[in-house]
Structure 1
Amino acid sequence: MYSKYHQAIKEEMEEFAKDSKVMFIGQQVKSEDFYNTLKDVSMSKRTEMPVAEELQMGLSIGLALEGFLPISIYQRMDFLPRACDQLVNHLDLIPFLSRGKFHPKIIIRSTIGTNKPFDVGLQHNKDLIEGFKALLKTIPIYDVKTEEDVKIAYNIARTQDTSIIIIERQELYYE
């Protein structure tokens, strides 16, 4: 059974989906509804990506520069380092490199894996939040651990004009 935490995430995704500029991009966004959090989001709003994290981030940047709001979903935080060139050297620095002309907005959604109900393994459950905070100058990271954290972080994502990373905890998806 899914938790209130999970339900809050699902409701936030449904709310974002109402915006014609929002696109959901990532692995398992079509095939498995990303842990059932996209279940009620139209398939037309979702783009399934191959295992190509850097390509996914580059595509998200391009879409954001064209006026879309990509919600770029990385199945687990362990895979986000594969997108570091685009994230750290491009998305994070575009406001500086463009002398303030461009501010692409991407909502980057990822998770920290769990060992419940089974152990997902060493390559699927790392908490890399502090490492990413050290790498990024302009992109805040929110570690959402409660239903209220979910609502606050996604409200910030909705109302601010900057990119944001939101890290969810898979262990909290279930009661």
Structure 2
Amino acid sequence: MKYFDELKRSMEYLAGDPRTVFIGQAVAVPGTAMSNTLKDIPGHRLLELPVAEEMQMGMTTGLALAGQIPVSIFPRWNFLLCGLSQLINHLDKVQVMSNGGFKTKAIVRTGIGAERPLHPQHQHVGDYTQAIQAMCSTIEVIRLDEPEDIFPAYQRALLRDDGRSTLLVEYGDYYSEK
């Protein structure tokens, strides 16, 4: 099994649930390596957004509160940094702030930017997994190191019934290397 193939299989699995909606930049149009994992997802399930990461994460929380399962895609950690207020102060804390009255389930997908064959410079290759993990009290952060980690992690994120969201971290270099 290959890293990219497992990601594509996982996205198709998620799309099998009628509650999922895929949102972000380059989800309905090509533009990133992650776009290629969505090319067989029906177009009506893909919500293309402008470059507005804080708005995207706010929409993610809203969709989750409305009972949908957003798969919110930020191609690189460095982009997700712009949505951290919404991630840390809202999505992560909604269950705590509501004394368990609201439970949200969102799937947030991000990546450590590929450095090979061309290094895109440091604003695209950050890995903030440990820092974000330390800031989250309810969101589970999972780093996808090996191809065999991918499908079970996305399956767990979809099937979980504990009212928690999941943030999955991919490696851009592994799309073609593993």
Under TM normalisation by the shorter chain, which class is it? over 0.9
Could you state the TM-score of these two structures normalised by the residue count of structure 1? 0.95
Alignment partners' CA distance in 2, 1:49 and 1:75: 13
**Cross-structure match for 2:83:** 83
- The 4+ residue runs of structure 1 with deviation greater than 2 A are none
Q: Percent identity?
A: 39
Q: Taking structure 1 as reference, are residues 40 and 34 closer, same or farther at Cα in structure 2, changes over 3 Å only?
A: farther
Deviation at 1:152, TM superposition (A): 2.3
- Does 2:136 correspond to 1:148? no
**Cross-structure match for 2:54:** 54
- Does 2:119 correspond to 1:119? yes
Alignment partners' CA distance in 1, 2:106 and 2:138: 12
Deviations 1:20-40, CA, capped at 9 Å, x for gaps? 111000001011175210011
Alignment partners' CA distance in 1, 2:24 and 2:74: 6
**Cross-structure match for 2:135:** 135
Q: For residue 119 of structure 2, give the secondary structure of its aligned residue in structure 1.
A: coil
Deviations 1:23-81, CA, capped at 9 Å, x for gaps? 00000101117521001101110011111111001111111111110000001011111
Q: How many correspondences in the alignment?
A: 173
Alignment partners' CA distance in 1, 2:31 and 2:63: 21
**Cross-structure match for 1:18:** 16
**Cross-structure match for 2:166:** 164
**Cross-structure match for 2:107:** 107
Alignment partners' CA distance in 2, 1:170 and 1:68: 28
Could you state the TM-score of these two structures normalised by the residue count of structure 2? 0.93
Note the residue ranges of structure 1 that are not aligned, 5 or more in a row.
none
**Cross-structure match for 1:38:** 38
